[in-house]
Chain A
């Protein structure tokens, strides 16, 4: 493996690139469990800061989980039937609609948030509730659900499968439940994990939409870096990692699984 200098150079570059990405992460995590960051690791390790984070920000953590789950429910209810409708009616109009639904991905979250504020800002009750943030998250995550489901539906011969079910006496609703949903399941799973991961990590939109009472996990993170001591902010990062990394891994796995069906 290390026979030629070229190979050695390749390895070196790869390791350097990894270090470039990893060292800040490790440093941040370490800072979260260091007794005093300014005195360094010699001050000893502690879980105190994590306890502090919990006391200060547990509401944000639960709100984020709640919004992510609500977002999942809404994107499932809208996204799966929408993907089905687009898959069953391929054509120019469907292509245009698909692009239209994907538009929030291209528009900066800031602009999207401003538009939402202009439109709904007057409805105080709504504007100050968590549902306002949910709307932003649904706008942003819906294209991911739609595309994941659409990709799987486009890969199976949905039309003939449905015709088969219809010839056996199944009406449209039964066909959707018995044939469409079960066969779209890998796409739905991949989409669901993507939606939850994105919703929990979403910052751009949420930072504009939040009120002090509707602070989500990433917004709380920004807040802690801005106003708390570095150790608390770093411990917060650690908590964030612990929540988001398993989701990321699951998302990778589900997407790979859905990809296999497409081949």
Chain B
């Protein structure tokens, strides 16, 4: 299903503008993530798409061209996975999954067959007859997903579907969720504040901040060409270098770096993986701490920039705290972006 949003805005009672007018188009079968810090309006946008929240007047929500703005959630045929899962505690796993089908008044035999199909797809066979209160977090998450997709909704909406799980399980279920969503072939939108989750699952990511979509694109595009300092920081944790841009060079306390392109008044950012320990580097720095992370070392550096700088260093050994080192950063790895003040 194609989803088209036009001038979707939301002002809550009391005047809080949770969402500024937003346009968005999502194509058939696409998986899009709404990514942003808490309070950026991503859940509000999702709830408006679902029909759980009414947008300000003038907004339109279209499903395959059909205007559904005035339809309540129960008439929109959307599947929804809630952050708390919202499983019905008074029903078994099977009854939960079959509830949406029962609402469609399908024959009993067909409901049973389709519930079995979804149970198998989500690998819930061992738990099918248990009460949902007897399941672990990961199992509940799968039941919530199974329940949402069983009625074959036009659109699947997921609100922070993994955030209620502990960290170890989250990583595993993230990949599982990505695979399952692809296997359903369904158009899906999911809200998250975790960039790894967004990158791993989504075809396109819409980065949101202060009630607006700041940038939308594939994970690679966002990572390589962030449009704003906010996107650079939020996707891939770019560090501000500070200093000043002059004559195609970035002047820093530890030395000067050549830039690929320079715009006066912009801010320079770099990611830890692009900071190299290099004896011939142009920047002088001092090693503060070294953390061994298995595949690489994370080295905290001072002196090169105004704020602390981190480098990811791979190799069999790392410098010791207190060592003087030299750093290099490739001109292409330095992102120069408008300052955040200018966007806001």
Q: Residues of A at under 8 Å CB distance from B? A: 156-157, 160-161, 163-171, 174, 178-179, 182-183, 185
Q: List 19 A-B contacts (CB under 8 A).
A: A156-B89, A161-B88, A163-B86, A164-B80, A164-B82, A164-B147, A165-B99, A166-B73, A166-B74, A167-B74, A168-B151, A169-B75, A169-B104, A169-B151, A174-B103, A178-B99, A179-B90, A182-B88, A183-B89
> Secondary structure of the A side of the interface?
helix
Q: Kindly list chain B residues whose C-beta atoms are within 8 Å of the C-beta of A182.
A: 88, 90
Q: Kindly list chain A residues whose C-beta atoms are within 8 Å of the C-beta of B50.
A: 167
B148 close to A (CB within 8 Å)? yes
Q: How far is the CB of B7 from chain A (nearest CB, A)?
A: 24
Q: Kindly list chain A residues whose C-beta atoms are within 8 Å of the C-beta of B215.
A: none
Interface string of B67-81 (1 = CB under 8 A from A): 000001111011110
Q: How far is the CB of A189 from chain B (nearest CB, A)?
A: 14
Q: How far is the CB of A149 from chain B (nearest CB, A)?
A: 15
Q: Kindly list chain B residues whose C-beta atoms are within 8 Å of the C-beta of A157.
A: 84, 86
Bound Cα distance A198, B35 (Å): 56
B134 close to A (CB within 8 Å)? no
Bound Cα distance A229, B90 (Å): 54
Q: Residues of B at under 8 Å CB distance from A? A: 50, 52, 72-75, 77-80, 82, 84, 86-90, 99-100, 103-104, 147-148, 151, 157
Bound Cα distance A168, B143 (Å): 14
Given A163-B52, A163-B73, the answer on whether A168 and B100 have CB atoms closer than 8 Å is yes
Inter-subunit contact A167/B88 (CB<8 Å): no
Given A168-B151, A169-B151, A171-B74, the answer on whether A163 and B100 have CB atoms closer than 8 Å is no
Q: A171 — nearest CB in chain B belongs to which residue?
A: B74
Q: How far is the CB of B160 from chain A (nearest CB, A)?
A: 13
The residue in A169, A174, A182 that gathers the most chain B C-beta atoms within 10 A of its C-beta is: A169
Bound Cα distance A157, B82 (Å): 12
Bound Cα distance A212, B151 (Å): 62
Q: How far is the CB of A8 from chain B (nearest CB, A)?
A: 47
Q: How far is the CB of A190 from chain B (nearest CB, A)?
A: 17
Q: Kindly list chain B residues whose C-beta atoms are within 8 Å of the C-beta of A161.
A: 86, 88
Q: How far is the CB of B271 from chain A (nearest CB, A)?
A: 38
Given A163-B80, A168-B151, A169-B74, 9 further pairs, Cβ under 8 A? A160-B82, A164-B80, A164-B82, A164-B86, A165-B88, A165-B99, A167-B50, A171-B74, A185-B90
Q: A167 — nearest CB in chain B belongs to which residue?
A: B80
Bound Cα distance A168, B84 (Å): 16
Q: How far is the CB of A95 from chain B (nearest CB, A)?
A: 18
Q: How far is the CB of A174 from chain B (nearest CB, A)?
A: 7
Q: How far is the CB of A223 from chain B (nearest CB, A)?
A: 46
A-B interface, 3 closest residue pairs, ranked by CB to CB distance from nearest: A164-B86, A168-B100, A169-B103
Cβ-defined partner of A160 (8 Å) among B77, B79, B84: B84
Q: How far is the CB of A89 from chain B (nearest CB, A)?
A: 13
Q: B104 — nearest CB in chain A belongs to which residue?
A: A169
Bound Cα distance A1, B99 (Å): 57
Bound Cα distance A157, B164 (Å): 15
Q: How far is the CB of B34 from chain A (nearest CB, A)?
A: 17
Q: How far is the CB of B53 from chain A (nearest CB, A)?
A: 10
Bound Cα distance A241, B224 (Å): 81
Bound Cα distance A169, B82 (Å): 15
Q: How far is the CB of A113 from chain B (nearest CB, A)?
A: 40
Q: Kindly list chain A residues whose C-beta atoms are within 8 Å of the C-beta of B147.
A: 164, 168
Q: Kindly list chain B residues whose C-beta atoms are within 8 Å of the C-beta of A185.
A: 90
Inter-subunit contact A168/B103 (CB<8 Å): yes
Q: Kindly list chain A residues whose C-beta atoms are within 8 Å of the C-beta of B86.
A: 157, 160-161, 163-164
